[in-house]
Structure 1
Amino acid sequence: MSERNGLRFGLLGLAVIVLVTGLVFFIGRPAAVGEGAPPAVQTSGESTPPVLQSLAEVADKAVSHRKLDIQQWKTAEGARVLFVEAHELPMFDLRLTFAAGSSQDGDNPGLAMLTNAMLNEGVPGKDSTAIASGFEGLGADFGNGSYRDMAVASLRSLSDADKRAAALQLFEQVVGQPSFPEEALERIRNQALSAFEYQKQNPGKLAGIELFERLYGKHPYAHSSDGDEHSVPKIGVAQLRAFHQKAYAAGNTVIALVGDLSRSEAEAIAAQVSGALPKGPALPAPAAPEVPKPGVHHIEFPSKQTHLMLAQLGIVRNDPDWPALYLGNQILGGGGFGTRLMEQVREKRGLTYGVYSGFTGMQTRGPFTIGLQTRAEVSEGTLKLVQDIVRDFLASGPTQKELDDAKRELAGSFPLSTASNADIVGQLGAIGFYNLPLDYLENFLAQVQSLTVEQVKAAMNRHLDADAFVVVTAGPTVEQKPLPAPSDKPVEQPVGIPEH
């Protein structure tokens, strides 16, 4: 699966906030469906035809989780390697995760994004077309992407020795010897500038940018991972080369490998890739951000709907409270339909098409966010309703039924997080990058299933405060109307597909 073919224009922070369909960032997500999922019905190998079980029979039975034997070592150059053998298919997935996200941009917002986008634009003797044709001709797939914490480069290839060797040789050149051709940089800069112009017409993107600036102040997480219209034009080839030399160093990467390889073959691949990277140590993680002052900030925008975005500082990814916070948020607003927020804001009052909340664990304190759109004339009341729902949830905690239902849903969906090799290699990259225990995937579900109402309530209160939200709204200033009373059949139906 390719994570970037060309320039990624999305904003990580915004994407976390505005997705109202239940998207959860990275490794905590249990429902990552991919190829290689187990068949719905399995036989014992005998001639007896399979028997389909009724939903009633299997409703309370957890899907078996794929057990992983994660092997770990370091290369001579200091790269951390995590490897899982998987011989079901004659292929392998390789993922390099660098501490080379926009938090390392310094005074040049957009530097990390441009460096990563330029990896496959040219190497000595090959332009972007030759690189793309080279991977395609080998049946291989190259992917790349950059975010606030990290940048990634990935390869999927057949494990046949000849195809593997050729694909790895090209991959090594792309990640270790990018030539950063000036004409390609000019093209990508122009694409970025066009995207910035588009953002000015999108209230959701404007609100997301403003939210992170208000939440993080002078911290590196404050600026967009794509940079801005002022910073990107100033970034030149010399800066890209210097950033690549520093941030794409072997000591600053985690190498994840999954597939039809032996341990000795995996060691050879890791050594080969590590040796092709610049030499250098791991970069320090960003410092802890200062706690921002809560308050409401409005962006005037001519539209029928108002975007409401709420955020406060959350947690680091390896915080021991992560399982409890994940489960608590699934009940509050992260689990789609049936959550507190969705039930009260959409189902009972018809105020929104969807509302979503989520923790984003990062190297330092990532955000906890809530996002929705509503009719402009009820935006103030809706904002207060959302804050009151959070306040009540922190005060009373989840009910036992809510907790049991969330645990049951997670038990059914969690096995999908390791359903394919692509899923696993992403999980390994995150485990290595965020220094999670090697048995994290094995223990996460058990930790969640053992949680009590009191433990979830306590964890949510340790990390959230209903009065600490930084709020950004984007929409028109109009006369406000009172909210409708809650009803099982609200008079006002949810607004249609979000405007942006």
Structure 2
Amino acid sequence: MSEAKAPRYGLLGLMVLLLVGALLATVRFSTPPDAGDEQPVESSQPAKKGLTTLAELDGKPPAHRSLDIQSWQTEQGARVLFVAAPQLPMFDLRLTFAAGSSQDGDLPGLALLTNAMLNEGVPGKDVTAIAEGFEDLGAQFGNGAYRDMAVLSLRSLSAAEQREPALALFKQVIGQPSFPQDSLERIRNQLLASLEQQKRNPAKLGSNALFQRLYGSHPYASPSDGTADSLRQIDVAALRAFHQRAYAAGNLVIALVGDLSREQAEALAAEVSAALPAGPALAKIGAPEQPEPGPSHIEFPSNQTHLLLAQLGVERRNPDYPALYLGNQILGGGGFGSRLMEEVREKRGLSYGVYSGFSPMQARGPFMISLQTRADQSQATLELVRSVLSGFLADGPTQAELDNAKRELSGSFPLSTASNADIVGQLGAIGFYDLPLNWLEDFVAQVQALDAKQVREAMQRHLDAEQLVVVTVGPAVEQKPLPEPGSQPAPPVDSGPRH
């Protein structure tokens, strides 16, 4: 069991933000298959043999591979997005359900626990037999649950002798889970142990507190991995009921990429859809209320203080998102060279890193700035970060910053469709958030057309440095002033807890 990482806002920020449900996601019990060794997909041209060298690029960014995305709906109501990729004899299948923790209701952790239990047993097979079944076929199974969504994935060779038995086992897992009691107790105990560990994790304490303050009574406020009380209340009947309701075919987006014909893809999607419970899409969650700004502090015995600053951001379909994405890359999402990194780390040595990012979701996701710094300089560092944000909102980016950010995007964006696994993830997000099929191409064009005034005005529409919700986690100590810019920074200190 491993904990899903929060998004990193850098060169590949777009890829991560597309799958924002993963943001601040909780525990993932098995990861989707890795596709790093695949050849890129090029749907409209024959595959080019050999590698493209830097000399061939001649200083230009690699070309973005256009995708011929085909879409239809199954008889049971699932939406399908398909890209044919005959270059490799395999396929990637990704199912995205509106079955994240925002659907937990009165039992936080229900979505996560249901998703984790799907491959624990089916009629005639226990968890070991399921794992061995996929392994014997050379197939890979993955699953995960997040705030907006739950995901299930399958990678297999596309030849019928491997594809058909792999798909048959996958259909059992998604449509006929037996939810064995012994597996429920084991996974519940793992989650309870994880909750105990979180009490010693200042970053997790801060994140939970921030979401509670930011979202109040909204479903996003609830911890995705549940509470000790709620986890103990979840039984097999609750898991079955959630599966019946949230894993219905009408609540599903099917993303499919690989060496399949349109006819084969339609047949595969129809099989998957028919294997699931019948039912409609779940109602979309409502909009959160505006939170009360201001600071709150969690006392924690450590040498450093975690700082989290946030506001409500935007929904995934907000038309300002291209401008907000570009503006944030300049503010704090682009790593080294961003405004925040320059002022906080490079000039003053206050932190190893400071990052900002929008996480657009079905409802308004958070805009967040996060860092950790010396406990005795935490308040001054907080004011510095707020000042950098205020200055950026007032003045916007310089032309040089804008040009650099656009150039970086044009160079990194082709990586967002560099493999079948990358593409199937993009298709899942496009389908889940109901984006246009040409969203990837349009996004790049929209970003490149932006000027500094448009970026500044978009950031001003959605952010206000005086309306930040602030959570700090660390010790209450006497505060010191910040060093002058360019002065020799103090040596870094260990941020672990004091025993």
Counterpart of 2:38 in structure 1 is 36
1:152/1:44 CA distance change after superposition, 3 Å: closer
2:12, 2:413 within 8 Å by CA — same for their partners in 1? no
1:428-459: CA deviation from partner (whole Å, max 9, x where unpaired): 00000000000001111111111100111111
Counterpart AA for 1:101: G
Counterpart AA for 2:308: M
1:286-313: CA deviation from partner (whole Å, max 9, x where unpaired): 1000000101000001100000001110
Counterpart AA for 2:71: Q
Alignment partner for residue 488 of structure 2, among 468, 475, 491? 491
1:88-167 aligned at under 5 Å gives the runs 88-167=87-166
Distance in structure 2 (CA, Å) of the matches to 1:265 and 1:341: 50
Q: Residue 53 in 1 paired to residue 55 in 2?
A: yes
1:467/1:143 CA distance change after superposition, 3 Å: same
Distance in structure 2 (CA, Å) of the matches to 1:216 and 1:8: 26
Counterpart of 1:241 in structure 2 is 240
1:44-443 aligned at under 5 Å gives the runs 53=55, 57-58=58-59, 61-443=60-442
1:216, 1:290 within 8 Å by CA — same for their partners in 2? yes
Q: Number of residue pairs matched?
A: 477
1:212-242: CA deviation from partner (whole Å, max 9, x where unpaired): 0000001000011111112111100000000
Distance in structure 2 (CA, Å) of the matches to 1:22 and 1:224: 29
1:20, 1:371 within 8 Å by CA — same for their partners in 2? no
1:351, 1:382 within 8 Å by CA — same for their partners in 2? yes
Distance in structure 2 (CA, Å) of the matches to 1:62 and 1:497: 40
1:90, 1:260 within 8 Å by CA — same for their partners in 2? yes
1:351, 1:494 within 8 Å by CA — same for their partners in 2? no
Counterpart AA for 1:416: L
- What is the TM-score when the length of structure 1 is the normalising length? 0.92
Structure 2 residue matching 1:290: 3-state secondary structure = coil
Distance in structure 2 (CA, Å) of the matches to 1:262 and 1:405: 41
Structure 2 residue matching 1:320: 3-state secondary structure = coil
Counterpart AA for 2:386: Q
Structure 1 residue matching 2:466: 3-state secondary structure = coil
Distance in structure 2 (CA, Å) of the matches to 1:134 and 1:384: 56
**1:285 Cα deviation (Å)?**
1.2
**1:191 Cα deviation (Å)?**
0.3
1:329/1:436 CA distance change after superposition, 3 Å: same
1:309, 1:372 within 8 Å by CA — same for their partners in 2? yes
1:164-200: CA deviation from partner (whole Å, max 9, x where unpaired): 0000000000001100000000000000010001001
C-alpha RMSD of the superposition: 2.2
Structure 1 residue matching 2:467: 3-state secondary structure = coil
5+ unaligned residues in a row in structure 1: which ranges?
1-6
Distance in structure 2 (CA, Å) of the matches to 1:117 and 1:203: 26
1:177/1:50 CA distance change after superposition, 3 Å: closer
Structure 2 residue matching 1:168: 3-state secondary structure = helix
2:302, 2:495 within 8 Å by CA — same for their partners in 1? no
**1:22 Cα deviation (Å)?**
7.0
Counterpart of 1:479 in structure 2 is 478
5+ unaligned residues in a row in structure 2: which ranges?
21-33, 42-46
1:419/1:497 CA distance change after superposition, 3 Å: farther
1:222-266: CA deviation from partner (whole Å, max 9, x where unpaired): 011111112111100000000000000000000000000000000
**1:62 Cα deviation (Å)?**
2.3
1:272/1:203 CA distance change after superposition, 3 Å: same
Distance in structure 1 (CA, Å) of the matches to 2:103 and 2:292: 25
Counterpart AA for 2:224: S
**1:53 Cα deviation (Å)?**
2.8
Counterpart AA for 2:157: L
Distance in structure 2 (CA, Å) of the matches to 1:313 and 1:460: 13
1:460-475 aligned at under 5 Å gives the runs 460-475=459-474
**1:34 Cα deviation (Å)?**
3.3
1:343/1:299 CA distance change after superposition, 3 Å: same
**1:485 Cα deviation (Å)?**
1.2
Report the more deviating stretch, 20-29 or 456-465: 20-29
1:349/1:300 CA distance change after superposition, 3 Å: same
Distance in structure 1 (CA, Å) of the matches to 2:217 and 2:339: 34
Counterpart of 1:27 in structure 2 is 18
Structure 2 residue matching 1:467: 3-state secondary structure = helix
Counterpart AA for 1:408: R
1:259/1:123 CA distance change after superposition, 3 Å: same
Identity %: 66
Counterpart of 1:447 in structure 2 is 446
1:111/1:69 CA distance change after superposition, 3 Å: same
Structure 1 residue matching 2:55: 3-state secondary structure = coil
Distance in structure 2 (CA, Å) of the matches to 1:54 and 1:123: 52
**1:283 Cα deviation (Å)?**
0.3
2:96, 2:151 within 8 Å by CA — same for their partners in 1? yes
Distance in structure 1 (CA, Å) of the matches to 2:481 and 2:118: 53
1:353, 1:498 within 8 Å by CA — same for their partners in 2? no
1:22, 1:356 within 8 Å by CA — same for their partners in 2? no
Distance in structure 2 (CA, Å) of the matches to 1:8 and 1:117: 12
1:352-384: CA deviation from partner (whole Å, max 9, x where unpaired): 010000000100000000100000000000000
